[in-house]
Structure 1
Amino acid sequence: MSQDEHFKFSTGVVAYPIFFVLSIWMVFWFEVRFGYNFSKYGIYPQSLKGLRGVLLSPFIHGDIKHIYHNTIPLFVLSMALFYFYRHIAWKVILFGILISGILTWSIGRPSYHIGASGFIYVLVSFTFFKGVFAKHYRLIALSLLVVFLYGSMIWYTLPIEEGISWEGHLAGLVTGLLFALFFKKEIAKPKKYIWELENFNEADDPFLRQFDENGNFIESKHEEKEQEQSINYIYKENKKD
């Protein structure tokens, strides 16, 4: 896949992130409007029943503050994912939710773990590490931007605040790093100079054919003929005078 196909804007770049955000807000609205509490559908570690939360927990939030803090990073990072990594975006999303959820289920405390923050950590980690591995100026710039905006989130992968699923954050961080390594070949590389290509043949390049082995410019027969005609014309004009 060419570099242009990697960095190409499409309707999905905005449409899919909006869909994600609207989905979690619709679930939250339904809870508030009809008095439901979906927390019991979150991830409950080491419980077979709690496995359903692997897929459901990203759509469930405890209160307005919780969902608000997840909305902006989810929208921004998913937009970056679909713009810079469109060809693997859905793989990162689906497997990211699945693997980070299973890791949370494996290492988490016996409590319900809910919210999209685990998946957000997948996106932060994947975007940062993949940009570093790519060594492409655009992706490195994106990594630096992620560090600037969300670098402080690293502290929440540690048990520093009660009531926060640091296990889910840590699981997302690890999952994003693994994805950055696994999809290492799926990286948009900078365009090479034409002479760096493996199948490049100097004889096929019209520009290089204008020079000899010593780098001297070779005048074509057509140009020589034009110069000769010009000289003859000037000579005749001078002779008339």
Structure 2
Amino acid sequence: MVRGALLGVGVLTGLMVVLQVVNWLSASWLTQHLGIRPRTWDGLWGVLFAPVLHGSWTHLFSNLLLVVVLGFLVALDGARRFAAVTAVIWFVSGLGVWLTAPPHSVTIGASMLVFGWLAYLVVRGFMTRDVWQIVLGVVLIVTLGGMFWTGIAVAAFGSSAVSWQGHLFGAAGGVLAAVQVGRAGRGRTTA
């Protein structure tokens, strides 16, 4: 399970690095054409690509550690669960940004996944009523919970170029995924 989790997160981070090389070599063509451009038909491509694209190497590296750590923690539940949770976060964050971001903006970056995975890991234990998952969620909210404040509230009301919409809808996708996991877990019966 650990090996599979490392492999899954490794493939995702490797993809991000390869795409950043291509983006760098193409003078940011990928981010300009495949980022989320709100309420435009072409901008919908960004829902598919934005979480793996970054505007600079600094942008990528600022997300990479949390992608590895939080992605790994989610992936420990297995490849199928990791894919399902990530897909919900990916879609909800992308569509939320597409619907609400300012006109003429372009949103990219794995922080949508980071906020989603963090919210998922915090809420999952309470939904499944698993003591160890609750403990992990509490540890994460104590150590990383400030991200919700700075990445959503401060970014929304400050003069930041950071997409608070991506963070907010990423977190919403994480909560939705945790609720789905909780429902699935309660639906099982033991013999």
Same fold by TM-score, threshold 0.5 exceeded? yes
Identity, % of aligned pairs?
22
Q: Which has the higher contact order (CA 8 A, sep 6+)?
A: 2
Deviations 1:214-236 (A, max 9, x none): xxxxxxxxxxxxxxxxxxxxxxx
Query: In the TM superposition, what is the alpha-carbon distance from 1:67 to its structure 2 partner?
Result: 0.6
SS at match of 1:172: helix
- Contact 2:16 / 2:53 at 8 angstroms: preserved in 1? yes
Which of these two proteins has the greater Rg computed from alpha carbons?
1
Runs of 4+ with deviation above 4 angstroms: none
Counterpart Cα distance in 1 of 2:106 and 2:182: 34
SS of the aligned residue for 1:65 comes to: helix
Q: Whole-Å Cα distance in 2 between the matches of residues 80 and 52 of structure 1?
A: 28
Which of these residues, 62, 65, 70, is aligned with residue 63 of structure 2? Answer: 70
Alpha-carbon distance change, 137 to 77 in structure 1, aligned in 2, over 3 angstroms: same
For 2:128, the equivalent position in structure 1 comes to 134
* TM-score in terms of structure 1 length: 0.70
**Bigger share in helix:** 2
1:186 to 162, 184, 187: 184
Name the stretch that deviates more: 131-140 or 81-90: 81-90
Q: Which amino acid aligns with 1:67?
A: L
Q: For residue 118 of structure 1, what is the aligned residue in structure 2?
A: 112
Aligned to 2:92: 99
Measured against aligned partners, the alpha-carbon deviations of 1:30-60 in whole angstroms (never above 9, x if no partner) come to 2224544322120011111100000111121
Q: Does residue 4 of structure 2 align to residue 12 of structure 1?
A: yes
Question: For 1:1-241, what aligned pairs fall within 5 Å after superposition?
Answer: 9-40=1-32, 41-84=34-77, 86-110=79-103, 111-155=105-149, 156-158=151-153, 159=156, 160-187=158-185
Residue by residue, what CA displacement relative to the aligned partner does 1:137-182 show, whole Å, maximum 9, x if unpaired?
2101210222133211112112134110001111111111122122
Q: How far apart, in 2, do the equivalents of 1:67 and 1:161 lie? A: 21
Deviations along 1:172-207, one digit per CA (max 9) or x if unpaired, are 11111122122213349xxxxxxxx987xxxxxxxx
CA deviations over 1:85-138 (Å, ceiling 9, x no partner): 654221111232122201111111120001111121111111111122223221
2:92/2:172 contact within 8 Å kept:
no
**What secondary structure does 2:76 align onto?**
helix
Q: Distance in 1 between matches of 2:141 and 2:40?
A: 35
Give TM-score scaled by structure 2 length. Answer: 0.87
Q: How much does 1:70 deviate?
A: 0.7
Q: How many residues are matched?
A: 183
* Whole-angstrom CA distance in 2 between matches of 1:144 and 1:198: 28
Structure 2: give runs of 5+ residues left out of the alignment: none
Is there any run of 5+ residues in structure 1 with no aligned partner, and where?
A: 1-8, 189-196, 200-241
Root mean square deviation of aligned Cα: 2.1
